[in-house]
Homo-oligomer: A and B are copies of this chain.
């Protein structure tokens, strides 16, 4: 499973359009969640795993590599943390929380 990056073909699309790479990357299970959990600060492998409902370590490890390839997270002395890019992504996804609560009310 290769890491979807802009300017190169991604799963299901050969256009290389950046937004398609985003959909491919974030559409893989756990990726959005992992970034979300790291919003509030760095976490170790095992803490992150616990916070992501004990997702399997093999998948977590795989995801960490993908997200690192995509320059959205990086390792630090205190654990994995968002890069600047990862942070700005989370900021653009931030309004999702508000949307989710509207959604919740309407259902």
Contact = CB atoms under 8 A, between A and B. Distances in A.
Interface string A1-24: 000011100001100001111110
A27 interface: yes
Interface string A91-107: 01101111111111011
Nearest to A19: B100
Interface stretch (A29-37, A40-48, A73-81): A29-37
The residue in A28, A85, A96 that gathers the most chain B C-beta atoms within 10 A of its C-beta is A96
7 contacts: A12-B53, A12-B55, A18-B104, A23-B36, A27-B32, A71-B107, A89-B103
Name the 4 nearest CB pairs between A and B, nearest first.
A18-B100, A6-B104, A18-B104, A12-B53
